[in-house]
Structures are given as C-alpha cells and as structure tokens.
Chain A
Amino acid sequence: MALLVILELSAGAVLALSGGPEEGMAALGGLPWAAVVQIVGLWLLPLPLVALAYALTFDRSGIRPDDLESLRRRFGSQAGDDRGES
C-alpha cells in the first residue's frame, strides 16, 4: 500500500511539474524538479522499501518452514517420481 502511495504521488508530481516554464524550474544540479521526482520517487525511494518489506514479512506471509515441510511431506514425492528419482 505504501508503495502504491509513493508511486501515485510521484507520478502525479511528475505530471504537475512537467512542461512548465523553463525559468525557475531547476532543482538538483540544474535538473528540473520533475526529473528529480521521477528518479527519487520511482526509483531510489521504492528500492529499499520494497526489498526490506518483502524480507521482513517473508517468515510471516511468504513461505513458513512448517508449511513448506508439510507441502513436501504431502506431495514432494510426486516431483521426484516425475523426474525418475527414487
């Protein structure tokens, strides 16, 4: 949800800031504000947010060890049989 908010706010800001008068638009190192928002909001900010959120919630909502073990116990031999393993 946080990711969607960031992406939507960034896209909205890019739309709002693009195509304005050239004077007074320069932000970081002369790059227009719209480009700065594009790079920060769509790239640099979501990167750590998504990677960390995924890793930190993985044990709860990703693959739990017990669930994996149970899946292997119930159906694991099928895959081995398909491959000709014993």
Chain B
Amino acid sequence: MPILDRPVIVLCALLYLAAMVAVGVWAARRTRSARDFFIAGQGIGLLVTGLATMSAAFSGFVFLGGPGLAYRLGVASLFVVLSVSFTSGLLCWTVGKRLRLLAEVREVYTVPDAIAARFRSRWASGLAAGAVLAGTVAYLGAQLQALGIVLQAIFGEALRPGWLPGEWGLPLAMVLGVALVLAYAVAGGMVAGVYTDLFQGLLMAATGVAVFVCAVVAAGGPGRIVSSIAASDQFGARFLDPLGTVPVATAFGFFFVFSVGVLGQPQMLHKFYMLDDPRKLKWMPAVIAVSQSLCVLIWLGVGLAVPALVAQGRLAPLADPDRAAPELLLGFAPEAVAGLAFAGVLAAIMSTADSLVNIASAALVRDLPRAFGRPVENELRWGRWAVAGVAVAAALFAWSYGDLIALLGTFAFGTFAAGLAPALAVGLNWRRVTPGAAVASIATGTGLNLGLELGGRWGWLPEGLLPEGVLASAVALAASFSVLLVWSWLFGSADGDALEEDVAAVMEM
C-alpha cells in the first residue's frame, strides 16, 4: 500500500523526527563540557535513568529484530529476551552499584575508565576500549539496518529516486538513517539522549502494549493464533515448542548470553554514572524490568500474530522476516496505533543509536588515547567528529553482514558480553582478580567472539569447528569467564594488592 495513503503514519513519524531534531539542537546549547557530553552532568533521577537504561538496551533489535527472529524460529526466539525479568537485578547487584560508587570517588565517564581505575592497567583499559568499539560498530549497524527498514516502510518508494535500482532502496534508507542519527547525536551527545529518553522510554512501553493488543486482536485472539500456527504446513506445532526449531545448545546459548552478557553492555552500564544519587539504585531493577517487559510484548505479540496471519492466508509469507512488524502495522493496525508504533520503533532505534555513538566516540577520543598515554586535548570537539566515522563504519558493516537484525544484534551483544562482563562483574567484586587476568579475559572474549563469528560467517574457519547449534558468543563468554577465574586463582593474591584505597573502599561496600 503506498504510504502516502496513510497520512497519519507519515505525520507521526515526521512529528517524532522533528521533535528529536529540536531536542538535539536544544541539548547542544546545554552541552558545555565533556562531562555533559558523556554522562549528562551526572544529574539524572531514578525514572529517567531507569528508562534511559531500558531504552538504550531495547532497540531496533527488540522492536523489529525480535518479531523477525520469532517469525523464523518461533517460541524458541523468546530465550533471547525472557531473561529481562531478572537481568536488571543482576546488573544492579553486581556491576551497577560498584560503577555508581566509583563515580563518587573518581572521574569515570566510561566503562574503560572503570577498568582503568580497578586494574591500573593501560592494557586492560585499552583492550576494553577496543571491545567497546568492535561491539558498538556491530550494534549500531543493527540499529541502522532497522532504521533503514522503518524508513522504507514509512516512506516507501518516495525515498528512492527513479534512476536508482530497487535493490538500492534499503542502503539508501540506511544512509538517510546515518544522517538522522548524526544530526541528533553529534549535536547533543548524552544530554540530548537522556532528556529524550524519558519520552522515548514511555513511548516504547506504550507501543509495546498497544501493538501487542492490536496484533492479538488482528490475528483472531490467542486461541486462534495458536491453532492457526499449529495447523499450518509452514510453521506447525514445533513452532510453538521452545525447543522445536533450534537445538538445545542454541536455545540455552541464547539464554546464557543474554542473561549473563547483560553485565558487559556499555550502553546500559554507562547510564549508572548519570544517576544523581547512588541510593536511588534501590528501585532501579523494578523500573528497568517492568519497562523492558512491556516492550517484550511486541516481540511476543507480533512474533506470533504474523505467522498466524500467514497461516490463515491473510498475509503473504515474508521474504524478509525483519519486515514482520512493519507488515503487521501497515496492513492490520488502525492508523493511529500504527503511527504511534512507528514513532515508538523510531524512538527505540534512535535512543540506542545515540547511546552507542556516544560510547564509541568516548572509546575513540578518550579511552584509546589515554590507554596509549596520549590524551586528546579537546575531547568534546573530537568526540563529535568521531561519531561520524563510527556511524559510517557501522552502516558498512551491517551491509556486509547481510543477515537478520536480531542475529547481528546477538553478535554485537555477545562481543560486549564476552569482552567486558567477566572483568566487570567479577573484577569489581573479587579482589583476587589481577590486571593480567583482566587483560587475558578481555582479549580472549573479544578475539574468540570476533574470530568464531566472522570467521565462520565469511568462510575463514573449517566447517564443523563448533558443534551444530553452539553459539560463538556463548563459547566466547564462557571462555572469557574461565580465563579470568583460572588466572586469578593461580596468580592473584587474596588481599588484592594492586588496589588503590578508594577503589578498595568501593569494592567493600
């Protein structure tokens, strides 16, 4: 259906984009220092920090990639996302509290800053910055791919000039997405991100609920959805079985990576520095878990309703599963709900993209130069330039990866997880962890994840290197934890003699 026949959807999208640009310009005037740019001046309350953490974590991955993965894998795909029920508690308990307390005693803006403070090792902080950069390029690539699909769905052929072949529609939309993200993030940095995150988080949660209800109603209710899927040749009863479409190793690999790996996600961890009072962490898990669970409804609702609609013959089978959510919204949702939902999806993508480019620019102009002993003089100015390079690299990477948003997102999530989770979660709680253990763990996790995933995908590794269904990210994460624990046990001292007094005090609390 030509999108211009659905003016409310276009209007909602345009209003949302205009509001975001306005906030970016407004925030640019309030961004006066690197501290403002990177951690929003450390003056943000519980609700905004909680929703900012949620909206940084949930993105095009959940809103478009989730339904896409569900269309391909069925109920098994939920292993990726159901752990949101407890991951926020785990995060606050093991890492969030320590990071926020560290910000009381040190000038820490980034995850590599925390690694540097804990281990007093340039190698550890430099490798952490490298892991952050690698994961960010992949994660931002997933956001740009999602943004391209949404912009295509909203504006359709109106985006593509007539002389350009049809297959260039998505790349062109991604280029437009890069421009949007840059306009938004370069200007305002984290101030822009955080001040819009309250609005974006609420919009995302509302979208999750509205689209879930709409999807279930459109497909005839829960009973009909299940019976349609179970009776269809294309999907069948196995689609509804948690282990029906994937090996056990894949299903529980997803669960392991996404439940433990949350401890190494810089786009979430970064937010803990911004909280104005550490005692407000008390209700942080509740805010994050409830808001994330509302967003998960879109994965569940669209992920089951679209296959049901296909099974009922009311929707053509999808050539590209990532278009499940746009197809449902454009074909079956009331225009107002579709408009809200597209704005919500844009909010999910933009808020995460903003956090990611901010983190990547910090890694490039702050963490890596400091690790090499050559700090940059004007981090704010160079940070804005770095954003542009990272966004272009991310778009090119997503284009070359060429798979579902959720699979690209899983790879990115796994890169952060395997590289950073052990050094942070164990390192900030166990004095015996040595700088050498942190370096070995970060190098092992990052190297294994990149090598196994990209080597396997691009044919550089022998076939059958990993048993069928085993996720590269799960192997890398397990190896990273093992290296850290064994190294610390063998070479660490119980009193953690490398610790400085203030860091030791933070770890004792």
Contacts and interface: CB of A to CB of B under 8 A. Distances in A.
Contacts of A7: 86
A19 B104 contact: no
Contacts of A50: 85-86, 88-90, 285, 289
B230 A54 contact: no
A52 B285 CA distance: 9
A49 B103 CA distance: 29
Interface string A9-24: 0010011001100100
A68 B242 contact: no
A53 B230 CA distance: 39
Nearest to A76: B104
A55 B286 contact: yes
Contacts of B103: 79
Please classify the interface of chain B as helix (H, G, I), strand (E, B), loop, or mixed, using the class held by over half of its residues: helix
Contacts of A11: 252, 255
Interface in B222-246: 222-223, 226-227, 230, 237, 240-244
B506 interface: yes
Contact of B505 (A26, A63, A71): A71
Nearest to B296: A43
B285 A54 contact: yes
Interface of A: 3, 7, 11, 14-15, 18-19, 22, 25-26, 29-32, 34-35, 38-39, 42-47, 49-55, 58-59, 62-65, 67-68, 71-72, 74-76, 78-79, 82-83
Interface stretch (B168-176, B275-283, B463-471): B275-283
B82 interface: yes
B281 A30 contact: no
5 contacts: A30-B230, A52-B286, A58-B282, A68-B509, A79-B107
Contact of A32 (B92, B240, B279): B240
A38 B78 contact: yes
